[in-house]
Structure 1
């Protein structure tokens, strides 16, 4: 190159715009990926019943259940469930009161977990349908006993729900409202 020639500048206005566009696309891709990952792991559930004290929960799909957690699960499509909650009932939300290996007993219609009372079963549903009592004994591996303190809660104290298998759990809920 001669003394009078000027070396071409790398950062021309066109290159600046091009690299800025690449940077924006990269940031947008990272943001969308983070949102997608968060949505696969979390969700929002609106509780439309009186059985839980809160009406909205964030769901964590990866957290492992433990005693006292709010758990949201698919209910078995039994005739009683379909009659009361429709053909495709929403997720049920209850509190885990019994873990695998705990012992569930019953005194009359009151269920106890490891000797501590957790819920009392009704004889009939709000619609007058007889309700069969849920299971007793040692909670099997991979299953949970769930209940609420609400007298009309439909949970493990009834045979239609029984032990809740881990594979039916959609996630663990954290109350937000």
Structure 2
């Protein structure tokens, strides 16, 4: 293969890959590479009703110093949300007015949340502080993943529901 043909082939390949990426993003498809939920291809489905406890959702985290630090520590990936964050895939476990307590585990309205142990350090041995607990304010969601090392509301607290993108629906996923 000549040098010119090789460059054309590479250019065409890159163009096709970029086109598929744009089509995927515009079509609501996202690739999950974090262990908080199964790895693979997911789709954002419009939510045509109020969000409910138990919904698995895509949500953009707010652009704040807490999330910038989380990205610097490697808890979050870069993406298209404000602040350059990738959307989170989490389960809604508490809505406004719910009382959330955090000790060694999460307790919502006096009921322990399964698989919600709270760690004092992250995977690199760095201290990680839990959210102190309280009432979920209006317009906010408390999010959780049963993955033990998940960065979720145990650590960042309730987040604004204005970042809600929709329901998270698996398309082609697998548990490692």
TM interval, shorter chain, is 0.5 to 0.7
Contact 1:135/1:156 (CA < 8 Å) preserved in 2?
no
The structure having more radius of gyration, on CA atoms, is: 1
| Residue in 1 that maps onto 2:100 | 104
* 1:95-174 equivalent positions in 2, closer than 5 A: 95-106=91-102, 108-118=103-113, 119-158=116-155, 161-174=156-169
Equivalent-residue separation in structure 1 for 2:128 and 2:71 (angstroms): 11
TM-score by length of 1: 0.67
Name the structure 2 match of 1:81: 71
Normalising by structure 2, we get a TM-score of 0.67
Aligned length: 136
Task: Give the C-alpha shift of residue 140 in structure 1.
Answer: 0.7
**1:55 positional shift:** 3.1
Displacement after TM superposition at 1:110 (Å): 0.6
For residue 57 of structure 1, report the CA deviation from its aligned partner.
Answer: 2.3
Instruction: Give the aligned CA root-mean-square deviation in angstroms.
Output: 2.3
Unaligned runs of 5+ in 1: 1-38
Which has the larger displacement, 62-71 or 123-132?
62-71
Residue segments in structure 2 that go unaligned for 5+ positions in a row: 1-24, 79-83
Residues 54, 176 of structure 1: 8 Å contact kept:
no
Q: Which has the higher contact order (CA 8 A, sep 6+)?
A: 2
Q: For residues 142 and 152 of structure 1, do their structure 2 counterparts lie closer, same or farther at Cα, with a shift above 3 Å needed?
A: same
